[in-house]
Amino acid sequence: MVVNSTDENEVGTDTGYGRKSELKAFDDSKAGVKGLVDAGVTKIPRMFYCGQVNLSETSPSDSKLTIPIIDLKDIYINSVSRTEVIGKRQDACQNWGFFQLINHEIPIDMLDEIINGIRQFHELETGVKKGVVLIQ
């Protein structure tokens, strides 16, 4: 995998930069961020830059800086609530890539097991991870 690193100030100045191909190579490597660290990368690769955000121009209550929260309360008894949740989830996935779920009723010990399993997966050798097929 070839990863180009760059200085923050250089982002967007090179019109020949192939972010799409760099992201594909990163995904195809199945090594993840841990693979970058293991490979000795010391600067954040250019593919992860999204431009400059001036945080001093925004307030903490600015909706652009708020993680979407999706409340699952009453989704099984209220069809309007269920429809709203579906719309919020779709928006969060398309515009953010992540969200926080509340009132999901998943026990804490099960969440801890999930997090532990994810951690164990990411600590595997890259060759082992390459053999894992992820559902898309």
| Rounded average pLDDT per 10-residue block, the chain, 136 residues | 47 69 88 87 87 63 75 91 94 92 94 94 84 71
- pLDDT for the residue 88: 95
Could you tell me the pTM of the whole model? 0.50
Task: Give phi and psi for 101, each to the nearest 5.
Answer: -100, 135
- pLDDT for the residue 9: 41
Please check whether residues 4 and 40 belong to one and the same domain. Answer: yes
DSSP assigned state of 103: S
Query: Quick check: is 6 in a domain?
Result: yes
- pLDDT for the residue 35: 86
Q: Which amino acid would we find at residue 50?
A: C
Please check whether residues 47 and 60 belong to one and the same domain. Answer: no
What's the CA gap between 123 and 47, in Å, rounded?
A: 23
- Give me the helices (H) in 39-132, please: 79-95, 108-122, 126-130
- pLDDT for the residue 6: 46
What's the CA gap between 49 and 8, in Å, rounded?
A: 8
H/E run at residue 36: helix 32-38
Query: Quick check: is 120 in a domain?
Result: no
Tell me which residue range forms the domain holding 28.
Answer: 1-52
Please check whether residues 1 and 47 belong to one and the same domain. Answer: yes
